[in-house]
Amino acid sequence: MDAKRQEWSLSAVEIDNPKQAIGHTLQQYYDSISNPEIFSIMYNDEFPYPNNDTSSGTSGHTKGVVVFGKSNGFWLIHSVPKFPRNDTYEYPFTGRHYGQMGLCISMSYSQLHKIGNFYSLRFLKIRMTLSLLQCRQ
C-alpha cells in the first residue's frame, strides 16, 4: 500500500532482495551516507551482522531508521532483529521469524522534533548517526 496503490498487496519480490519497498527506501540512506546535509539515526536493540553482540537488557525493545534532509524525510519503524546494516541492504535470517511488522512514515522536516520527543523516553540503543550539517549547529 502506498500513494499509488490504496489496497494491500503482496510484493512480487522477496524481502531479502533489495529491489522491493524497504530496500528502495533504505537505498536513500545508503546513497547519502557521506552527505553532511543528511541527518540519520539507526537504532536496534540487536546489532546487525557481522557483529555478534547480543541484545541489550537496558535499552528499549525498539528498532528503526530515521533519515531526513533539509525539507523532508522518513521514519521506518520495524520489528526485525539485527536490521538494517549500515553499509548495504541485507535482510537477516532473524527477520524471517521475528520480523512481524514494518511501517514507513514520510514526514516534513518540521516534524522531526516529534520523533525526538517520542523516543526521549524509550532508551534507544543508537548505533549510527550522521549529521544534518551537525544538526544545523
**Residue that wins the pLDDT comparison between 47 and 57:** 47
**Contact between residue 84 and residue 42 where contact means Cβ atoms under 8 Å apart:** yes
Which residues 6+ apart lie within 8 Å of 78 measured at CB? Answer: 63, 64, 99, 101, 102, 103
How confident is the model over 107-125, as pLDDT tens digits?
999 998 888 777 665 555 5
- pLDDT tens, residue by residue, 1-42: 777 888 888 889 999 999 999 999 999 999 998 898 898 888
Range 68-78 average pLDDT:
94
